[in-house]
Structure formats: C-alpha cells, structure tokens
Homo-oligomer: A and B are copies of this chain.
Amino acid sequence: MTADAPGFVPTPHPAWLPDDAFAALGRRRVVVAGDGALAGTVAEEVAAATARFGGSFSRLEVGDGVADADLVLTLATDTDAGSASGTDPDAGEGFRLTREGGAVVVQADGDAGLLHGLFHVVRLGEAAFDGPDADETHAPATGLRMLDHWDNVDTHPVMGQVERGYSGGSLFYEDGVVRADLSRVERYARLLAAVGINRVAINNVNVHRREARLLTDDLGDVVRIAAVFRRWGIRVHLSVSFASPILLGGLSTSDPLDTDVAHWWVRAAARVWSAIPDFGGFVVKADSEGQPGPFAYGRTHADGANMLAAAVEPYDGLIHWRAFVYDHRQDWRDRSTDRARAAYDHFHPLDGAFADNVVVQVKYGPMDFQVREPVSPVLAAMPRTRIALELQVTQEYTGQQRHAVYLGPQWSQILGFSFWSADGGASPTVADLATGRAKAVEDPGTGAWHKPAGGFAAVSNAGDDEFWTGHPFAQANLYAYGRLCWDPTLDPADLLDEWAGLTFPGAPDAVRQALHTVLDGSWETYERYTSPLGVGFMVRPGHHYGPDVDGYEYTPWGTYHFADRDGIGVDRSVRTGTGYAGQYPSPWRETYESTRTCPDELLLFFHHVPYTHVLHSGSTVIQHIYDTHFAGVDAVERMIEAWSAVSPLVDPRLAERVAERFAEQLRSATEWRDQINTYFLRKSGIPDERGRTIY
C-alpha cells in the first residue's frame, strides 16, 4: 500500500453510477424525444453511454415516427407540453414503460419523468430489454422527496464544516464560501436524481450568523448551486434563521405578528424567487436547542410558520417546520418532565392551525434518531396538518459511517408501521400518512387526512470524501433512502441488490452475497452491541460516538435510563409513569402500557423493570444484555470474515477503506460490549450465566 502524495485528490468513486451501469442501455439503439431541459440531460446521458458501448442514439421531436429502436424515451403524447419544459420539476415525474418483443418505450408524464424513466432502465440493466412483454406505470409515492444538508459555510468551532458529517468536508462550501468549482455537486446531483431525490436543503438547520447570509448577500451563490441541481430535476431549499429580520434586516424583532417582520420576509421571498424561479422553500428549526423562534414573542409555532408561509405562498413555496422541539435545559432530578412527550405536547394542539404550504417535519421517533425508538406519535396526531417523516441517513447515533450499518430495514419497518393496528392489516401506515395515501381511520376522530401530505426528508450522509460517505457501504443508505421515498413498499434487501448490482457491475455473485451477509442484519447487530432494549443513548456526550453509559444520565438533555442496582428503564406508562404511552392511538397505547404486552425491543423505553424481569424471549433483562453484547461482537467478526473472502474481488482502494472501517467497528463494538457488560455487572451484581469475561 502506498500513501498518496500530499495534495492528491482522488477522483470520486462513481457510487451507483459507474460507466458500466450503462452497458445494457449503451449497446442499444436509443431514441430520446422531448425538448425540455431534462430531456436534454437524458439525451446527454444516452449519447455518452451509446458512444461508449457501441449503441446508437438519435434525438427526435415528440410524436415523430420511430423505427428500429430498442429503447424510446419520450413524453406521453397526451401530456401537456407546457409542463414538460416548465420550471416545475415535480410535475410529471411518472412514466409508463411498455416492452414488446424486446423493444422498450418509456412514455413520461413530463420532463422529469424522462429522467426517472432513464434511470429506471439503467437499474434494470439487461432485464430492461430481456424481460417478458410488459406494460407498467411508475410514479413516485410523493412529490416531496427531500435531502437536508447540515453543512456550514464557515467551519463551526464545535460542529465543524458539516454538523454530524462523517464524510469529509462539505460538497458546497469550503473556506467560508460557496465553492467556485461545483463539478462535484454536479456528480452528486446526478447520483441523487438516479435514486429519485427531487429536493435538497443546502445548509444546516442550525443557522449560524454566517449561514444566514445565504438568504441575502450570497443569493448569487445559491443561484449557481440551484442551476446545477436543476439539470437533474432537483429543487433547492434553504434553512433560514427565524431571527433573520434581526440578523440580516436590522429590525429589532422577529415577532411573526409584527408587520415589519412579515414585510421583511415578503421582500426576502420575492428576491429569492426572482433569482431562482423554481426555488423550493425554507426549512426552519425554531425554538429548538437554542435556535430562535416565535416563543420569544409569546407566539405559537403556527404563528411563526404561517407568517413565513404567507411570504412564500405566491411562488408555491413551502415551509418545512421542524417538530423537534423540547426542553434541552431539563433538570435531571425532575422525573415528571419527559422529553419523549415534548413534540406531541407542543404540536398536537396546533393541528389544523398551519397553512396549506407548511410541512411539519417530524423525526421518526420521539427522541433523536436512536437505533431503536417507538415511532413518533406526532405522525398520527395531526390529521389536519401536512406531515413529513424525517429520517437520518447520516449515521449520527448508528456508527458514524465507521460502522457498517444498513438502515434500509429500520426505515422500512418505520414506513410500514401502523398506528391503528397491531399487525398492519388494512389500516394506514406511516408511509401512507407521509405520502397522503392514508385512508380514513376512526381514531383520532376526524377521519380522512384531507391535507396534501408532507412527504419525506432526511439528513444527508454525503461529503467530499472519495467514497462520498466515508464508509463505502454507507452509500447503500443514501441509495435506499431515495428509493424508499419513491416507493416506500420496496424491500430493503432488494434495494441492496439494486445498489450492489449497480455499484459493483460485473462482480461475481459472491460479492453480492457477502454484502447481504454483512449488511442485511447490520442494523440489528449494531443494536445488539449498543444500548439495550430501546433505552437509547449511552453514548459519549457531544460527538455521540462510542459508549458512555452514564454520559447523559445527569445532564439537562432529557435522555436518561435510570439504572440503579435493582433495575433500569423509563416508566412512560399512563398509570404510573410520564403518560407518554397515552399519546398513541389504540391498540398501541394499551400494548405499550403494560410490560406484559410491550415488545421486548422497546421494553426499557416504556418501563422501568428489575434486571431479573423475564422478557418474552424467555431471557432475563440482565442476561439479555450480556447475551446480545457478546452476540453483537461475534456478528461483527462474522461480517468481517464474510467480506474478507470477497474483498480481493473489488477495487483495492475501496477494499482498503472497508478494511480500515471494519477494524474500527470491531474495536468499537468490543468497547461497547465490555463497557455495557461491566457497567451492568458492577451495578446488578448478577453474573453472566455462561461465565464469559466481564471486567
């Protein structure tokens, strides 16, 4: 292994779009018809692929006769041609695919549909052409498939260039300014488009003074970024500070009911949309973890969001308003305050009060992106509000892209969760709520979701790292997120196949199999060796990497486990606890209320139990802790073995990176195992039944 010379910047890894991913298409005779901007992008892609692989490419007008083509990408003739060339990339994203005798026709609903149809064909590879005759329609589950970047323009003294970023620097910013060279952003936009992402927020929700200026002084730079994304059907959003009228406008207040404040935002929005006609809107983290908000003026979140909504409404702009609001200066002595309750308590009473173009963005769980949490009850509690589900692709609490953790299965489980039935059945899922496909339900009363829904948002895991995501396997998370936004019912194991097939084209099937061995169960493996039974946290404060069982136990952050010599867990029952379980509709309020019915994996989230409590699995809590922690490390060792057998079959640079990450994962998992087991042996005094080494 040779070290790279200083200053050497490797070509970014192609991720799921290596040239070879276009081989099947590139060997065909392909026709592209359409005169929109995205048709142009599609034509460039096809031209390059056919030139590379010996196929042919021609471009026609929509409706022209086509003969002897293997693949035609065209607008559906009954589509309004206006929308195809307009600036609204959300419109017409769907497409119809027909295959007859090996000839494939993609008829797009609009300009954007051409792009999505192209990448659909790329994903299928040879199967696109070899498959049986078919006639399929494809359309995204929601038009709001968003990726949030927690990138700072200036390097933050504590949080760095990218808050919770584990993939090098920012794709957008360097040395305190927007990068002059956006070619890497262009590659990134192409990758995102290929998985269906259609909106990106380009700066951190914690908007510091420097970042606030993107809205004004630096708007020209935002225009440049938006131009790059536009070629790939992606709209740009900005995170804004609620205190912008003070920070940027020189006003003495940012009171949402103050006329000058409202007018300041009206003018700000006018400037932005004048410069970027397809601009997406604003993301706001208000009255959360120190960010300014309407509370300072005795106003509600609805007051704040609606004032902004009015300013952006003429442009069909959106306000993404985060529901991540809680008391981060809680007294740990006070057991009656429960952070898990906070979002519901703040937002549920406001249901119906938000404007139509406000999206309330809700983290999937009530705490903060833990490896295991119950699904946030806020998602079910606001039927008259546009709700977006917020996920975290960046692995803040799930191994920080040093651990191989494929989050597809977690997200799939969340998306498929139903608040109104224990087994899913016909009642609406979280995906249904977020995409607007929810059917009427009897509880909580009003019935149908009559608002357009808010779609999906997630924190990106990408940076200027050679492999985009630090750990090469973390690419699979970004891939799966985009694909699940398009279709939340997709099977995460199938998505892993898609990703592997594209990313390692031509690799022996053993590579794909090894990736399944490594990644299919990796989320649960990570859960096994970290905090047990849904209790969460136990991470080092601040950076959130590695174990520290009591790290947050006596802090103001509201994240406690209450372990003593007898037992552990947080009583969130209605009868004897904080009442959080009562925020769920039936049957979950009853299921979570009792230790008899609460699922094992969430037991300590909902209940404080003795170490000798017997789980549904038949094990005691303490023995479960020991067993899972030994098993977790064993599983990491098996992951490493499985990968080591095939790693010589892939790019040596990638293999080297993965090997380095695995070494750290094994070290870290061992540290977790030993600290957790030692902590609980010291506290409980109960030895491991199997006599394994605990320190």
Contact = CB atoms under 8 A, between A and B. Distances in A.
Interface in A651-685: 671, 674-675, 678-679, 681-685
A509 interface: no
Interface in A18-54: none
Interface stretch (A237-245, A336-344, A400-408, A560-568): A560-568
Nearest to A695: B333
Interface string A76-107: 00000000000000000000000000000000
Given A333-B674, A548-B554, A554-B678, A565 B695 contact: no
A389 interface: no
A250 interface: no
A683 B333 contact: no
Contacts of A157: 157
A590 interface: no
A153 interface: no
B684 A565 contact: yes
Given A547-B554, A550-B550, A678-B554, A683 B685 contact: no
Given A548-B554, A695-B333, A565 B683 contact: yes
Contacts of A679: 550, 554
A547 B554 CA distance: 9
B550 A685 contact: no
A549 interface: yes
Interface centre among A565, A566, A681 (most CB of B within 10 A): A565
B547 A682 contact: no
Nearest to A563: B682
A683 B681 CA distance: 11
Contact of A675 (B554, B675, B678, B681): B554
A315 B64 CA distance: 95
A550 B551 CA distance: 8
Interface centre among A333, A547, A551 (most CB of B within 10 A): A333
Contact of A683 (B547, B564, B671): B564
Contacts of A550: 548-551, 679
Contacts of A566: 685
A564 B682 contact: yes
Contacts of A565: 565, 682-685
Nearest to A676: B554
A687 to B, nearest CB: 12
A298 to B, nearest CB: 25
A290 to B, nearest CB: 19
A227 to B, nearest CB: 35
Contacts of A549: 550
